[in-house]
Structure 1
Amino acid sequence: MHRFIVVGGGAGGLELATRLGDRYGKARKGGEPRASVTLVDRYPTHIWKPLLHEVAAGSLDPFTQELPYAAQARWHGFAFQQGELIGLDRAAKRIQLGAVRDDDGGELLPPRELDYDTLVVAIGSTTHFFGVPGAAENSIALDTVEQAERFRKRLIAACVRAEHQAPESTSAGVATSGEPRVQVAIIGAGATGVELSAELRNTAEVLSAYGLHKLDPRHDVGIVLIEAGPRILPALSERVSTATEDLLKKIGVQLYIAERVTEVAPGVVRMASGKSVRADLTVWAAGITAPSVLAQLDGLAVNKLGQLIVRRTLQTETDDSIFAFGDCAACPWPGNERNVPPRAQSAHQQATFLFRSSGNLLDGEPLPEFTYRDFGSLVSLGHFSAVGNLMGGVIGGSMLIEGLFARFMYMSLYRLHIAALHGYARMVLDTFAHWLRRTTLPRVKLH
């Protein structure tokens, strides 16, 4: 049997493994499966990464949304191997996985090697700190559920602690009279930073309503959003950026635009202009980079961002049997100066493309070329609103949308991801179950 290995269980990787397993991994009547499909990820469960800002704000309980890879594998005809990609032997067509350890540091699974005929790398991206002093040590990134949960717990602790401490007029890092008692600084006003800032405003109000603190959620809980570029949401259109900026100001988010962060110290963020911002908690959402392991994979070509360079077939420049897509791949976008952008819709389109071209691969036929279609972008501002633009195949042009319709479109993105993993019938049931949980639980996780 042909051996497919998909490394990376993010949105695109898991969708691809699921569809390959459904088509090739299940035994047909009177025969054997046509291929074996194995998914590799360093974590045991999957969560849709665009939801992590909601986990950090407490408006989403990750344990109700996590999907065990082993269960998905059992249901859809593929195998799952937990482990981190640490090496590649292209001549032997073999990958090396590192050991998996438990919470106490004991070895849970030993280092292993897996053989492949076709390897697909979809390990996503990681936070880029740009060498800013103190950024990695004194701020929290939102790459994993564990990081998001850590931020949420620290936020609740900071609010509870601040209620019983009188404001003091001292050096940076401590609130002065008239300042917010708790202040969160978010560095980077891309989609993650903007969405988190809005969700945190809602969180502050809910925590106060449930009595976890008696602080004024608008005056005593400050949210600061810092962007080095000339406007927020630099990857989106200026119309979307302007509309979002107006909405953020209405809900009390303080914006620092064109301010480059030069240091993140305990309790304070310093900028190149000489300004400084007190920060009880700091979130770093200023950029992404490819995982460093990609540059060490047996001669595979990478660009200056560390992404694997691929052709329009999504095959790597160096090896026809190795494919890459999503944030970790630099894929050409004909007619544009830049590559296909690192968005969830890109990974979804590329996963669908690879699934459709897998038949060509198995039959030894020429592979088609991938063409990215930009359907627009949406940004959620929690229960306050949503804003975005629809483009291309949706309306034949570009249109700014906001409010209820934009919120509906934003929520439908996740529902489409669920449908890709489980089918539309289970997606409908999951939506109903999610609505029931919302009616019986607080809107923010309180512990």
Structure 2
Amino acid sequence: MDIVEFNETPEAAQSSALLQGQEWNVHVPSGAKLTVTVKYGIVEILGTELANDIPYTFQGISVNIYAIERSLIEWKCLEELEPVLSENKSYHTYVYNLSFALERLKLLSFNGPRLLILGQRSTGKSSLAHILCSYALKIKQYQPLLVNLNPQEGVFSLPGSITATPISEILDVESSIWGQSITTGATKLHDKQPLVKNFGLENIEDNRPLYLSTISQLASGVQQRLKNDPVVRRSGLIIDTPDISRFDTDTWSEVRHIIEQFEINAIVVCADTDELAIKLSENFKTKVGHFVRIPPPGSITKIDGIMRRALQRIQIREYFYGTTETVLSPYTMGAGFEEITIFKPRNLSEYGGTQQEIDLTVFDKVEVNASNLQHSIVAITNISRKDTQDKLNTASIIGYGLITEVNDSKRKLRVLLPVPSRIPDRAMILTEYRYLE
């Protein structure tokens, strides 16, 4: 006999049968926990197959389970959820064809495809990048280099960063941040080791020169990796981007910079119509050889500001504390004000919206006090805090810390770190992101 505590409510398992080509969609609120078990059949989440009879747990994310063949899933949640079954065969046909086309490009050259994904918000750009990475692992022993250029979305890192990560093992479908990286300690799946560059601001338009400079630094590291690793070079690049409206679509300066820095040879546009693809083709047909449009999937989740904040909060929490399956134990370290040096990127809004005679790629030193640093996320660079400021532009990020407490009277602060260590003697960069436990 099962014993149920008085403060617990038993979860009633429910079953859903999926026909081939059907998709089971549900959004899980951040305070709820959904457990899904595949009883029989083959299903996948964003290109990654789920094992049978293994429970998968989801929190605070949208779950889209696609049936490769007739399948049965069992699910349970204490909250009231309303899953929706939909047909999504046409979208997956587009994705299959794109995946096969990328495979042909890999066979034609030792330099794999360099794919740039563009589109409006909530058109499936990140989902497509996720699926293409997963499918590349299934075809051969490829290691596609996933590049994330959206500072609002953490990929193997925290929001505020842009990253480049070789994908050599399956992706963690339960995680809201694609999976955990080597900086967060022991993980259930193979660790991913991203190259991280910190932008620090949330909106690209707040400092376009710094954003372009950060992309250049990331691209330099990517080119070096491609030069030294023939497997990654043959596997190619898959580049995810922010909402196209964040870019300057009059001059296309950001898109042109990305194309030149990463030597893009194919562009995929996620859109309902051909309008954006035609504009891009007119502007870049001499630089890019292939343009493809893929319509957004019917089950796409519209992410508004509230949901974006909730996802960012989950990403920060998972970075330091792990998931329900892999619990991490971060370390809190104390330091005096004189032991740390923190800089912050310049924000155009602080200068009245004008950048005349202002070098926006320069970092300003931050006064250490509670009003500036309480509950803030700081990027820890690989350069000494005594080095000159000009090295900050080329610095890599070795990890992030959370300043949990600042005591002005005692001139002491406490920093949460994902690994056991003293407070690193490194220059730190203040981001715009905050987290209150």
* Bigger helix fraction: 1
* Bigger strand fraction: 2
TM-score, normalised by the number of residues in structure 1: 0.28
